[in-house]
Structure 1
């Protein structure tokens, strides 16, 4: 059973993660993860079938940093804003050092000259490592529901 303090820290992790992405603080994104992390953006069909194919797949904090460098320094794309709406995380297990949890998410996209649209909807499937000073994602799998997604996903979900 997760104690109140740890659950509060878990809620803060989810909220701070979304706020960093929504506010364009992409350089902060890798710091939410352990050094030996996994981050994947994967379709529901592939996840449910056990297929490894993912839209994005990174296996370390270094790879996350490289992605942010690519997004901010080398990739040309039309600018847009993201807004995350994240459900309350449902804790599956807690062994004192790791939490496994799941939360629904919806990400909206707004282009400066356009209307807001639904960009990506699904669920986060997370393993969170409990460090003395902070909680960090050891694994974050973003399982999106739709079989159709924009032909390029630039920013993390």
Structure 2
């Protein structure tokens, strides 16, 4: 892995966090390949090999459908979220494919309330090089706490 790959990976992670924190939901699917996996799963299930996930999408089309749901059909109290993401640890690097992990913390701020820790865990990612730059082929969001809010609306 060279310096440019390292820089590009860090830019991908930072750009992803910026897009979902700014509420530009239409950008979120564009971080993924057409055939992709996005899974939000508790740590306990992941470590035991249980398939049950809180959210599980298996294509860019499904991600776009979720964006439509966020914008048009889901009713919830609005809130802001802010990601703090560690630098990705590259576990395996091939010419056009990287297996990475990064820790994250997401803070949530509801209108007229104090900010709170919303979700903490790690990303387990497969990133591939495409004609349009680096994209997530797989993003598993493994959250640490067994207790989560009754609804997770926005992507983590």
Counterpart position of 2:133: 134
Partner of 1:43: 42
Quote the Cα distance in structure 1 between the aligned partners of 2:36 and 2:7.
22
- Structure 1 unaligned segments of length 5 or more: list them: none
- Map Cα deviations across residues 53-104 of structure 1 (whole Å, 9 max, x no partner): 0000000000000001001101110000000000011000011011000000
Alpha-carbon offset, residue 46 of structure 1: 0.2
* Secondary structure of 2:152 counterpart: coil
- Residue equivalent to 1:22: 21
What residue is the counterpart of 1:34 in the other structure? 33
Could you tell me how far apart the structure 1 residues matched to 2:36 and 2:112 are? 36
Q: Distance in 2 between the 1:114 and 1:86 partners?
A: 23
Structure 2: state its 5+ residue gaps. Answer: none
Give me the TM-score of the superposition, normalised by structure 2: 0.99
Aligned to 2:120: 121
Q: How does 1:45-64 map to 2 (within 5 A)?
A: 45-64=44-63
CA drift of 1:112 comes to 1.1
Q: TM-score, normalised by structure 1?
A: 0.98
- 2:95 corresponds to: 96
Residue in 2 aligned with 1:81? 80
